[in-house]
Amino acid sequence: MRLSTEEKAMLAGEQGKATQKAMEILVALGTIYGAEHMVPVTSVQIAGVSYDNLGEAGLHFLTEMEQGGGKARVLTTLNPAGMDVENWQSLGIEAEFAEKQIQVIEAFASMNVITTCTCTPYLTGNVPHFGEHIAWAESSAVCYANSVLGARSNREGGPSALAAAITGRTPAYGMHLDGDRRPQVTFDVQAALLENDDFGALGKAIGEHLQALEGKPVPYIRGVNEATLESLKSFAASLATYGGAALFHMGGITPEAGQYEPPGDPIPITPAGLSAAKIEMTDGDVSDADFVSLGCPHLSIKEIARIAELLEGKQVVKEFWITTARPIKQVADRMGYTETIEASGAIFAADTCCVVAPIKGRFKALVTDSAKACYYAAGKNHFQTILKPFDEVVFAALGESQPEAAT
């Protein structure tokens, strides 16, 4: 790789041990992927924050980087941790785990990383603009940033994201290059899309097609007439989960779509295909569910307002986690939504989520509106899953089977 004078100095150890290690990681990565040079980044988002995923080896790596003088030189935030940092006791987290998780957060803080733990950094001030080069790690956020914001990020691992934060660089390959952002396959959506679970099912249907195609091509999606921020975050999460995609173009919706003609013969996504995707994500019954969660990806303030509206004056009958970023929770506090939600018995789980928290085996079946949460609840935590539209998830927590009951 061609390195600038400053990058060579970093690699030679002239800016400290952690910077040297970080540059070694990036050069190795760039060499593997054939990058010719580095590109400066303006924003980083680091995954691998939950101690449940990181373990002792991960904590040791962070401590080494911290002791080696590593400091983030660009805006850097974190992915969800394994617990609500302020309120972990109410989530049933063990004190021993909490102690380790706090050590992880403190190590990041001492490296100048902003310890907002969220998979929706674009809702909390870490918002790159069109064309900006960034190094993000959370798959749903990478897919959202590339596709909806038009920023440019490969899906980084925890160490390479930290290395990008410390050096302010990432190797120029993949999503950073124009050529790799071109759509190669077209999907024609013929099904109506109303709610997050519809967009999640669409992500699964298209994602599974991508997995079966050679080289996991960048999809161009046509036939979607409107989509909200919330439905696009659901779609990006699902497409990344089921298809490993880091980028999609959606005609009339995403900013780069207009640069391209939809390529090739379109693959239809029919109403039957969408229904089949939903059915495949449901292997339990609401009446048997003992866990309900909304907020995968983390909830927007608009979604929290809706939950508060539905829970007003009522009591939940199942454990119900509301997962969001700390700054969004603080807005909910100010608006009185938190008081309404907590009076119902539902629990805020800020900084974390139902996938990264250490709750394997603790529940039998999860009700959610998230296709991504279904995938990991089944695969990682061994729960049965029930996919429902947003409002119906809240009704499930209330033990109300009829949506009309809450209007």
Binding site for ligand F3S (CB under 6 A): 79-80, 119, 140, 237, 295-298, 323, 353, 355-356, 372-373, 376
- Based on CB atoms, which residue is closest to ligand F3S, 223 or 389? 389
Min dist. Cβ of residue 388 to ligand F3S (A): 16
In the complex, the smallest distance separating the C-beta of residue 354 from ligand F3S, rounded to whole angstroms, is 7
Amino acid at site 345: G
In sequence order, what E strands does 84-231 have? Answer: 114-117, 135-136, 169-171, 185-189, 219-222
CB of 387 to ligand F3S, least distance (A): 14
Q: How far apart are CA 146 and CA 142, in angstroms?
A: 6
For ligand F3S, the closer CB: 202 or 296: 296
Nearest distance in Å: CB 73, ligand F3S: 25
Determine if the peptide bond prior to 297 is cis (ω within 30°). Answer: yes
Task: Kindly tell me which of 298 and 388 has the beta carbon lying closer to ligand F3S.
Answer: 298
User: How near is the Cβ of 234 to ligand F3S at its closest, in Å?
Assistant: 9
Question: In whole angstroms, what is the distance from residue 143 CA to residue 141 CA?
Answer: 5
Instruction: With both helix axes pointing from N to C terminus, report the angle between 51-67 and 95-110 in degrees, rounded to the nearest 10.
Output: 40
What is the DSSP track for 277-317? HHHHT--S-GGG--EEEE-SSPPPHHHHHHHHHHHTT---S
Instruction: Please say which residue, 52 or 198, places its beta carbon nearer to ligand F3S.
Output: 52
Q: Which is nearer to ligand F3S, 209 or 298 (CB)?
A: 298
CA angle 168, 74, 329 (to 5 degrees): 140
Of 237 and 322, which has the nearer Cβ to ligand F3S?
237
Phi, psi values for residue 116, rounded to 5°: -80, 120
Residue type, 219: P
Q: What angle do CA 388, 301, 118 make, to 5 degrees?
A: 85
Q: Write out the two tokens for 68.
A: 């080696």
In the complex, least distance from residue 405 CB atom to ligand F3S, rounded to whole angstroms: 28
- Residue 4 CA: distances (Å) to CA of 37, 69, 105, 217: 8, 22, 32, 32
| Total residues found in the chain within this entry | 407
Task: State in angstroms the smallest separation of the CB of 121 from ligand F3S.
Answer: 11
In whole angstroms, what is the distance from residue 39 CA to residue 113 CA? 20
Question: Given the complex with ligand F3S, which of 161 and 373 has the nearer CB atom?
Answer: 373
CB of 262 to ligand F3S, least distance (A): 28
Whose tokens are 């390529």? That residue is 263
Rounded Cα–Cα distance for residues 358 and 4 (Å): 43
- Considering the complex, state which of residue 165 and residue 296 has its C-beta at the smaller distance from ligand F3S: 296
If the CB atoms of residues 79 and 101 are measured against ligand F3S, the closer one turns out to be: 79
Q: Tell the smallest beta-carbon distance from residue 106 to ligand F3S (Å).
A: 21
The rounded distance, in Å, linking the Cα atoms of 301 and 7 is 41
